[in-house]
Structure 1
Amino acid sequence: MPLRPIDLARPHGLSAQAVRNYEEAGILPPAARSAHGYRHYGERHAAALRAFLALLPGHGHPAAAAILRAVNAGDLPEALRLVDEGHALLAEDRRTLEAVRTALDHLPAGTAAEPAAGTHIGPLAHRLGLRPATLRTWERAGLVTPPRDTRTGYRVYPPAQVRELLLAEQLRRGGHGLARTAEILDRLRTAGSPEALRPTLTAWQDRLTTRGRALLAGSAALHAYLDHPA
């Protein structure tokens, strides 16, 4: 028995117009039309809609839509490549989380040894085993922006920024790029201190676990759609 747009929409709390929009976007395969131009959907369309909605939480709307469009266009390799990308992004986020945990574990225990007036670029670069030019590159990339001495114009890194750069150096040694390192330092600033960041890491881990399960659920629904007779 043909299904109307509302028949597909109602179980998911969607509108009939949303279903029509999904078809027009290629997320659903083309519907048959009655003599009067009404759309007639079938169980395969329902399976496609279930797959799309299951893919959304793990992959997000653009990727989920691209996966269904590729399947409906007969390009299964492209669809699977997009699915793999979602899992690869999750794996990279897991590696980043572990790198942050490891870097925090290797930070100095406190800032008592840091001069209250701040540290100049030469001594700090020597401490980190870097060249001053590297610290200037990190500054341009947005990792830290040290204030300047009002008399000399030299960079002066306050204790908090020294700690941030120690963390950045650990992350860079772990293979993380400047953009990802800058993002992690922003998380640190939001938390307020390295130790205050640890509860944030627990919440981060929970989000990754939720996303991992969502990716599994999306893959299962996509597999069911792929096995559905045309």
Structure 2
Amino acid sequence: MRTADVARESGYSVQQVRDLERLGVLPPAARADNGYRRYTHTHVHALRAYRGLVGAVGPVEARLLLARLRTGPVAAAAAAVGEVHVRLAREREEALRAQRALWAIQAEEAAQDDDFMTITQLAEALGVRSSTLRFWEEEGLVRPERVTTHRARRYGPRAVRAARVVVALRSSGYGIPAVREVMDSLDGLDEPEDARRILRERLDRIAARSVALLRAGTDLAAVVDATRETPGRPE
């Protein structure tokens, strides 16, 4: 197959095919006597697999994974793809757990009175360290009150709710900057709807990545099958 043929079959441009070969996404093409590249259907499968992997894990990891599929033992290649499925499932479960936590927060607040909690009490209730609550305070995520003569922290209903939202988001893999963005959007609101919306959007993105990986499955298998008989390749 010519470069133009591979480009047409894979949906990439001629220049993209050349660039992806240079980046190692494709195995090196053979050269005809006139110097032109000679591709096979394996190269088409590799490009299609790459497109799906990019949607699932991003371009950098997609390149590394394809290299492992082409050169590593077959068992390791299958395990590498399985690891991506497991990671996506774990991310989905984390987001669902955070989502359930946010719904629980709303239910608890409906029955909540106006009692205040000390930092030790709140830390125990959330399953975190007191130092974690102090760090969140420094980051502006949770704002306790200081009313005693020793300036000890105490947390009212609003601060307790904020701390619960932070726990839910952090358990779902959100970094501090992303959590801060959510908390800023919640400032002055009575319901953590924005946090739930963000988690729904995260679940949608995880679903899209999972579908992309599934679409790449047949082409990934073709890449492995085409190279498993390569001389010197370990089984």
Relative to the length of structure 2, the TM-score reads 0.72
- Asked if 2 retains the 8 angstrom alpha-carbon contact of 1:97 and 1:205, the reply is yes
> What 5-or-longer segments of structure 1 have no aligned partner?
none
Q: 1:214 to 1:183 in 2, by over 3 A?
A: farther
- Amino acid corresponding to residue 109 of structure 2 in structure 1: A
**Cα contact 2:119–2:153 (8 A) shared by 1:** no
Q: Which moved more, 1:186-195 or 1:38-47?
A: 186-195
**For residue 140 of structure 1, what is the amino acid of its counterpart?**
F
Aligned equivalent of 1:129, options 124, 128, 144: 124
Which residue of structure 2 aligns with residue 203 of structure 1? 201
Q: Which residue of 2 aligns with 1:49?
A: 47
Superposed displacement of residue 32, structure 1 = 0.7
Contact 1:58–1:214, Cα closer than 8 Å, also in 2? yes
1:152 CA displacement: 7.1
Structure 1 residue 28, shift from structure 2 partner: 0.9
Indicate the SS of the match to 1:37. coil
Tell me which of 8, 11, 14 is aligned to 1:10: 8
Is 2:141 aligned against 1:144? yes
* Contact preservation (8 Å) 1:144, 1:161: no
Q: Aligned equivalents of 1:76 and 1:23: distance in 2?
A: 22
RMSD: 3.7
In the alignment, is the contact (CA less than 8 A) between 1:57 and 1:211 conserved in 2? yes
C-alpha separation between the residues in 2 aligned to 1:191 and 1:96? 22
Aligned 1:54-65 pairs, distance under 5 A: 54-65=52-63
Aligned-pair CA distance for 1:31: 0.8
Contact 1:26 1:72 in 2 (8 A): no
Task: Check the 8 A contact 1:191/1:200 in 2, yes or no.
Answer: no
1:57–1:215 CA contact under 8 A, matched in 2: yes
In 2, Cα distance between the equivalents of 1:170 and 1:32? Answer: 53
- Tell me the distance in 2 between the aligned counterparts of 1:191 and 1:223: 45
SS in structure 2 of the partner of residue 28 of structure 1: coil
Q: Distance in 1 between matches of 2:119 and 2:49?
A: 53
- Match of 1:146, SS state, is coil
Other-structure match for 2:101: 103
Amino acid at match of 1:146: R
- Where structure 2 has 5 or more consecutive residues not aligned to the other structure, the ranges are 231-235
Letter paired with 2:118: P
**Residue from 179, 191, 194 that aligns with 2:192:** 194
Compared with structure 1, are the counterparts of its residues 196 and 147 closer, same or farther at alpha carbon in structure 2 (3 Å cutoff)?
same
Equivalent AA in structure 1 for residue 14 of structure 2: A
1:44, 1:38 → 2: CA distance?
A: 18
TM-score (norm: length of structure 1) = 0.73
Structure-2 separation of matches of 1:4 and 1:38? 8
Task: Count residues in correspondence.
Answer: 218
- Contact preservation (8 Å) 2:49, 2:216: yes
Give deviations 1:132-155, integer Å, cap 9, x for gaps.
x92323443658353786997655
**Does structure 1 retain, via aligned residues, the 8 Å contact 2:141–2:180?**
no
Provide the rounded CA distance (Å) in 2 between the counterparts of 1:11 and 1:129: 59
